């Protein structure tokens, strides 16, 4: 796969998504090189400057380059698991769950409002949020849907998807 630096327009889309999750992608991207893949999908990765310079010199086409943040699709940034993990520590749009619910989230289950241990104020129906455990560790990307937080993508996906 070939890569190029993220354009100014793509960077704005990524930064807007970070704000939607109550996080700061500007802080995440600082001192790193953001690249986008030139395949069927516009996947966004971050890497360090040295790695990017080596890639430009050796002219290989790796499948991945650095840490996967998410994908740009239809002028919208779809947050990936590692992107969520990088946003979670400073995010203001997250819900914390206890240990029992954490396990259910990692099995792909949704979170019922009454099982939320702590929620940051101001979230409303339709908002996307991060789901974290009681220690603040990122578990999943969710969306507020009335009396549940819909689990859109969780870290257990790695194990369930693996072959």
Model pLDDT for residues 22-37, shown as the tens digit of each residue = 999 999 889 999 999 9
Model pLDDT for residues 146-156, shown as the tens digit of each residue = 899 999 999 99
Domain edge (last residue) among 62, 87, 112: 87
Same domain, 78 and 33: yes
Q: What pLDDT, on the 0 to 100 scale, is given for residue 139?
A: 97
Q: Give the predicted TM-score (pTM) of the model.
A: 0.89
Mean pLDDT of 60-79: 90
How high does pLDDT run on average in the chain? 91
Mean pLDDT of 141-150: 94
Mean pLDDT of 123-151: 95
CATH number for the domain that contains residue 98: 2.30.130.10
Residue 33 near residue 5 (C-beta atoms within 8 A): yes
Same domain, 16 and 60: yes
Same domain, 77 and 7: yes
Report whether pLDDT(161) > 80: no
Model pLDDT for residues 87-114, shown as the tens digit of each residue = 999 999 999 999 999 999 999 999 998 8
Same domain, 111 and 56: no
Distances (CA, A) of 85 to 62, 119, 148: 23, 17, 21
Domain that holds residue 41: 3-87
Same domain, 22 and 65: yes
Same domain, 81 and 10: yes
Same domain, 83 and 119: no
CATH number for the domain that contains residue 58: 3.10.450.220
């Amino acid at each position: 796969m070939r890569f190029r630096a993220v354009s100014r327009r793509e960077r704005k889309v990524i930064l807007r998504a970070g704000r939607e999750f109550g996080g700061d992608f500007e802080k995440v991207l600082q001192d790193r090189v953001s690249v986008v893949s030139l395949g069927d999908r516009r996947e966004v990765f971050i890497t360090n400057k040295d790695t990017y310079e080596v890639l430009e010199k050796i002219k290989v086409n790796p499948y991945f380059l650095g840490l996967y943040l998410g994908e740009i699709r239809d002028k919208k940034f779809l947050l990936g698991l590692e992107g969520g993990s990088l946003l979670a520590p400073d995010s203001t749009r997250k819900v914390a769950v206890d240990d029992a619910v954490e396990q259910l989230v990692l099995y792909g289950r949704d979170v019922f409002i009454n099982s939320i241990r702590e929620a940051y104020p101001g979230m409303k129906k339709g908002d996307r949020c991060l789901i974290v455990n009681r220690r603040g560790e990122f578990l999943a990307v969710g969306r507020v849907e009335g009396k549940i937080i819909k689990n859109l993508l969780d870290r257990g996906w790695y194990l369930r998807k693996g072959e």
